[in-house]
Structure 1
Amino acid sequence: MRGRTQSPGPGRVGRSGSFARSRWFARPGRLAAEAVTLLIAVVVAFPLYWMVLSALKPVNEIASTRPRPWTLAPSLDSFHRVFGQQDFGRYFLNSCAVAGSVVVLSAVIAFLAATAVARFRFRFRTTLLVMFLVAQMVPVEALTIPLFFLMRDAGLLNTLGSLILPHLAFSLPFAIWLLRGFVKAVPEALEEAAYLDGASRARFVWRILFPLVLPGLVATSVFSFISAWNDFLFAKSFIISDTTQSTLPMALLVFFRPDDNDWGGIMAASTVMTVPVLVFFVLVQRRLVSGLGGAVKD
């Protein structure tokens, strides 16, 4: 009949009931996962918050025996002391030069090496890849003294080259391994089609292959930039007498005093050091996510 409503069958009721129960049981698990994620984010972000807060606190609040996670009288005096340092601008430019050189050189060399390893067959190719992994296993601290003598014999001590070359050497194995997966993911049929259209090998590499693996290059560049920008060990070991060649982490030593450390200046300088890293992350965020996703997929 037209006015009669059809009652749902027992099978439909069972399916809808089981779906509702599955959603009810899945919801607590999802909430627990979100709560754990939020807790981890708070734990990770709290040191950054405390760093910025300490940079904005006045001296009497920093030296107080009862620290508070807030301040009612924010001050920029710590930042004035940081930017008032005579060589702070030079340290900043030196850090930009070292990090920028490492990022550009590692990206170009790693791209060419990954292309050669992924596209060509030659002797000791597997041995070369294994050596890249072995190089990643050696701790940096164990190689600092041999690198010091190497830089001394090469006449590179007290120069920015003594900082660029070690960071370049340490960033290349990881970059080559990561980019190798991106190069292998590009179909060989695309390369053959480019050759049939008259493109040379160099044109294919730089006009077709390079844009396709650009997300991977961005991902490797982030790690290279962070390691070179935050380096203190090499800067302290290889820049001995010429302080004009020092980088930004060395500026923190100015605020460490034998009798009383300037914690406000230390936190303000650390905040200034963090800003370029955050800016770099914001600029490459989209390509970084796609690059890491491609690496996991490979």
Structure 2
Amino acid sequence: MTAPVEVVRRRGRGRPGGRAARALFGALALILAAVWAFPVYWMLNSSLLPNAVLEKTTPTLLPFGGSLKNFQSVLADGSFFSALGISLAVAGIAVSCCLVFAFLAALSISRFRFKGRRSFVLAVLFIQMLPAEGMFIAQYKLMGSLNLLNSVIGVSIIYIAAVVPFTIWMLRGFVAGVPADLEEAAMVDGLSRTQAFLRITFPLLAPGLVASGVYAFLQAWNEFTVALVILQDSGSQTLPLWLRGFIQQSASRAIDWGDVMAASTLVAVPVIIFFLFVQGRMTSGLVSGAVKG
């Protein structure tokens, strides 16, 4: 049965129309990728050029004659490293807590049947429908009553509460995609339930955990409005707040777009590094090789 199918596939690949279609789709994919990547390239290109070049009416597509002076100017402001440390701390706390809470909740609603399970799932969905702006006053008063304003812990708690519901729903799909029969088979072979979960199920859930962690990280790293409400002290600002203040300072003396683009590039660098570490797990299969035959 497999031989005729393979022959048909080979014949389809050899058709001129098939090759032309693949080439067309490949060219279209390259064009879309270039359109998507161009803003990032323009930001990096502009960060290497002096402001006098950026203000010209003719755009400069290549950074010939560029330098790192804009980056040196941004890094000379010591507040950048303070904001970087706060953003890293907030993102680390938010990602860690979100993965722990959401993972346990996803396991519970996927593998166990308990009273109130359906209501809990509906509550998770309902919370996602609430606009974040409608809770700013309540969040501010709550953090103020707990003396957590202008603190990493305070803003991290709000980020966790905002991200956990969607993370639960995301991980629920990953957990449901791993057959419980794998654990039962491992238990038949002599493993305990905990050992079967840690050796068999948990490695298969790694891509889901990474994907959920990426979502939580991006939400915590790029969030602006909640941080603007909770972190009002200039000495306790995340990178988005620091970038806004940097632009406002630049606007008071005429915006230096080279410095602004350099600052934006520095804000994006940790995200790029994070993706370089996790992209392998994100692209791997969920249960590839787990079930054969």
Q: Which TM class, normalised by the smaller chain length?
A: 0.7 to 0.9
| Superposed counterparts of 1:1-298, under 5 Å | 19=11, 23-195=15-187, 201-241=193-233, 243-252=234-243, 253-256=245-248, 257-290=251-284
Query: Aligned partner of 1:269: which letter?
Result: A
Report if aligned partners of 2:13, 2:19 keep a CA contact under 8 Å in 1. Answer: no
- For 2:173 and 2:19, locate their aligned partners in 1 and report how far apart those are by CA, in whole Å: 37
CA distances 1:235-273 after superposition (whole Å, capped 9, x unpaired): 2111112x2221112221223223412222211111111
Change (3 A) 1:233 1:45: same
- For 1:201 and 1:144, locate their aligned partners in 2 and report how far apart those are by CA, in whole Å: 43
Q: SS at 1:157's partner residue? A: coil
How big is the shift at 1:164? 0.8
Query: Aligned partner of 1:46: which letter?
Result: F
Q: SS at 1:131's partner residue? A: helix
How big is the shift at 1:204? 4.5
Report if aligned partners of 1:216, 1:291 keep a CA contact under 8 Å in 2. Answer: no
Equivalent residue number for residue 3 of structure 1: none
Change (3 A) 1:67 1:39: same
Change (3 A) 1:67 1:293: farther
Q: SS at 2:15's partner residue? A: helix
Question: What TM-score, normalized to structure 2?
Answer: 0.85
How big is the shift at 1:152? 2.1
> Which 5+ residue runs of structure 1 have no aligned equivalent?
1-14
Question: What TM-score, normalized to structure 1?
Answer: 0.83
Report if aligned partners of 1:171, 1:224 keep a CA contact under 8 Å in 2. Answer: yes
Change (3 A) 1:173 1:20: closer
How big is the shift at 1:187? 3.0
- For 1:106 and 1:204, locate their aligned partners in 2 and report how far apart those are by CA, in whole Å: 24
How big is the shift at 1:163? 1.8
Change (3 A) 1:21 1:216: closer
Indicate the percent of aligned positions where both proteins have the same amino acid: 41
Report if aligned partners of 1:219, 1:291 keep a CA contact under 8 Å in 2. Answer: no
Q: How many residues align?
A: 278
Report if aligned partners of 2:12, 2:18 keep a CA contact under 8 Å in 1. Answer: no
CA distances 1:255-292 after superposition (whole Å, capped 9, x unpaired): 32234122222111111111111111111111111368
Report if aligned partners of 1:219, 1:292 keep a CA contact under 8 Å in 2. Answer: no
CA distances 1:206-261 after superposition (whole Å, capped 9, x unpaired): 454322211110010011111111122122111112x2221112221223223412
Query: Aligned partner of 2:143: which letter?
Result: M
CA RMSD of aligned residues (A): 2.7
Report if aligned partners of 1:58, 1:74 keep a CA contact under 8 Å in 2. Answer: yes
Change (3 A) 1:144 1:201: farther
Q: SS at 2:65's partner residue? A: coil
Query: Aligned partner of 1:260: which letter?
Result: A
Change (3 A) 1:291 1:219: farther
Equivalent residue number for residue 6 of structure 1: none
> Which 5+ residue runs of structure 2 have no aligned equivalent?
1-6, 289-293
